[in-house]
Amino acid sequence: MAPHGEARLVEDLRDFLDDFSFRAKRLAAPLLRPFGPSAEPGAVDDGELDKLRAKLRRIRATLRAAEDRVVADDFVALWLRELRDLEHAAEDVLEELEFEALRAARLEGFKAQLLRSCAGGGKRKREIGLMYSSSPDRLSRKIAKIMERYNEIARDRDALRLRSGDGERRQEVSPMTPTSCLMKCRLHGRERDMRRVTEMLLSDEASCCDVYSVVPIVGPAGVGKTSLAQHIYNDEAISSKFDIKMWVWVCQEFDVFKLSQKLAEEATESPCVFADINQMHRVITDRLKGKRFLLVLDDVWDESRDRWASLQVPLKCAARGSKIVVTTRSTKVAKMVALKMHQLGYLSDTNCWSVCRDAALRGRDPSIISESLVSIGKSVAARCKGIENVPSAQITPEASIKNKGELRKLILHWSSTDSMFSCDASSVLDSLQPHPDLEELTVKGFSGVRFPLWLGNQYMFSLSILELKDCRNCKELPSLGRLPCLKHLSINSLTSIKHVSRMVSAHDEINCGDYRSSISIAFPTLETLKFSNMDSWELWDELEVPDFPCLRHLTIMRCSKLSGLPNLQALQNLRIKNCENLLELPSFPSLQLETCKDVSFHAGHSEDVELVSCKPVWIQMGQPEEIEPVYID
């Protein structure tokens, strides 16, 4: 070999050795990826790698399941930490194997050139071979240790599955859940109520164990009990009289254990991880001992004296002068917790209008409201007396919005979804038919069991954007397929809907000026459709071939019981997320799946498929005559 060539070869060798000797393998791997993929080192058994990858998948699945739980048991928490450490160790081995494969592929040709040019006989060739060899035995030993550790951790946790006692599932906080935080708004017409409740709170009266007294605030839904309690809770003059303040939203389920847990968290301002009520009582007692507290129990329904007495047990150690404010709709609850109560009455017409106006303006200039709308608002406010439901018989002609042609966007929002008002809510919505020129409509929090007929009537021929949200008592969707100009439809949290039909009446016709079309085509102009949080939805009827001719985008999220989709011929983009029971899909041009499992669908050559956090999926690639099934795990 020519001296010049040999010198160049030695120089190249030195460069490569410096590169791989002084760089950490993890840092080197991404630098070498541009040189292209390669096979894993053949000296490591493929079976070992398969087992390692399988164990890693199971570990990750267990850790993902644990993220949805509140783990209170110390042993379980330790077990999960050990499992996470094992996950990292397995990932390290796989990264190292990838590095060795990249290294071997990059240097294989150079190694062969050195061996061909070697003049030192067999000994020198062996030295060069060892210089470029990986350490398969070392990696195999690492894999064996991981397997051994895995079996040790899993020994008392069969198949690495969380048990029911390993932690409660985290509860999502409803956007309707009231808290102690006070929104920046005036308390219209409640000055007298504020003074009276303040006097009761600052008195020295102590009716319970000579320690604290209870002040019930009683009134119908929506009259302002929680708002009054929030203003009292955040009043500086009142707050200064107490050492500790606590706020707990109770609602209909009076679970003593859960409420004690909330009390402990409020008292200590930290998460409560105890699984035993006795431990929680000790924490509350230690925190309240000798101190004056103010506790608000918001929206109490339960009339059980035993449960009420059990909740009070850790409160009796506090200092005299402590107070409990209870807001409730029930006079019986108020009489159970105290001898005296404060009854919250209805607002005057003027104050009612001030509340409605402030809610609509949200701090903006009142002059932006036209006089015609002011007259409607005052008329409705005069009948509601501070609550959200207005009997339809009380809606006067001047309060009707049917003749308000200037309206383009309308939001109808019920602040309470309580089913006890469903009849009134249905009557009100029946009476609020808008002008046919309305273009955008939102119905939110409607507590009735059925939507009005006008919502699916050809009368609404200008409506292009519609949102139905938090209408939890409705069991059937209106005939929305009849709307001739509807382009965007969102249906969210209609949790009583089990069945979605074509949403078209068979014998109706649309007559909209020059636009006249047979109703045999459902949703003739709809472009985007979104379903989300439909907990009870199981069945979507098959469609007629011409239906949804303009539909381009369909999104289905958190519909856990839905088991199938109709064939939507024009659909271009489908997004599915958290639909555990949706196991088979028709063919669509573009498909994005998130957090699904065991899904089967057909994907043609030109289709775009994106899978995000999906469990095993069967895909049929190609056209029908050349289908090739692909299994993705």
* The token pair that represents 265 in the structure block: 């968290």
Would you say residue 480 lies in a domain?
yes
In this structure, the answer to whether residues 155 and 195 fall within a common structural domain is no
Mean pLDDT of the 70-98 span: 74
Does the global pTM surpass 0.85?
no
Least confident of 30-34, 232-236, 493-497, 566-570: 30-34
What residues have CB less than 8 Å from 245, skipping those under 6 apart?
Answer: 180, 233, 239, 293, 294, 295
Judge whether 489 and 514 are in contact, CB under 8 Å: no
Q: Sorting pLDDT into bands at 50, 70 and 90, what band is 388? A: very low
Would you say residue 281 lies in a domain?
yes
Backbone angles phi, psi at 550, to 5 degrees: -110, 5
Domain end point (choices 317, 343, 369): 343
Q: For residue 317, what is the domain's CATH number?
A: 3.40.50.300
In this structure, the answer to whether residues 216 and 143 fall within a common structural domain is no
* The token pair that represents 553 in the structure block: 């985008």
In this structure, the answer to whether residues 307 and 444 fall within a common structural domain is no
Would you say residue 446 lies in a domain?
yes
pLDDT: which is higher, 600 or 495: 495
Count: domains in the chain: 3
In this structure, the answer to whether residues 417 and 514 fall within a common structural domain is yes
Q: Sorting pLDDT into bands at 50, 70 and 90, what band is 282? A: very high
In this structure, the answer to whether residues 21 and 111 fall within a common structural domain is yes
Q: Sorting pLDDT into bands at 50, 70 and 90, what band is 207? A: low
- Rounded to a whole number of angstroms, the distance between the first and last alpha carbons of the chain is 52
Domain end point (choices 546, 567, 586): 546
In this structure, the answer to whether residues 329 and 441 fall within a common structural domain is no
Strand, coil or helix: what is 471? Answer: coil
In this structure, the answer to whether residues 10 and 150 fall within a common structural domain is yes
Mean pLDDT of the 175-204 span: 80
In this structure, the answer to whether residues 510 and 411 fall within a common structural domain is yes
Q: Sorting pLDDT into bands at 50, 70 and 90, what band is 12? A: low
- Tell me the average pLDDT of the chain: 75
In this structure, the answer to whether residues 139 and 225 fall within a common structural domain is no
As a three-state string, the secondary structure of 494-559 is CCCCCEECCCCCCCCEEEECCEEEECCCCCCCCCEEEEECCCCCCEECCCCCCCCCCCCEEEEECC
In this structure, the answer to whether residues 109 and 35 fall within a common structural domain is yes
Domain end point (choices 530, 546, 562): 546
Would you say residue 166 lies in a domain?
no
Would you say residue 110 lies in a domain?
yes
Would you say residue 536 lies in a domain?
yes
Least confident of 271-285, 330-344, 411-425: 411-425
In this structure, the answer to whether residues 250 and 289 fall within a common structural domain is yes
Mean pLDDT of the 278-297 span: 93
Least confident of 131-135, 228-232, 336-340, 456-460: 131-135
Q: Sorting pLDDT into bands at 50, 70 and 90, what band is 115? A: low
In this structure, the answer to whether residues 140 and 209 fall within a common structural domain is no
* The token pair that represents 136 in the structure block: 């398969």
Would you say residue 258 lies in a domain?
yes
Gap between the Cα atoms of 224 and 234, Å rounded: 16
Instruction: Determine the length of the chain.
Output: 633
Give 528-560 pLDDT, tens digit per residue.
999 999 999 999 988 888 899 999 999 998 898
Mean pLDDT of the 417-431 span: 65
Would you say residue 18 lies in a domain?
yes
Domain span including residue 296: 191-343
Judge whether 436 and 483 are in contact, CB under 8 Å: no
Above 70 in pLDDT, residue 53? yes
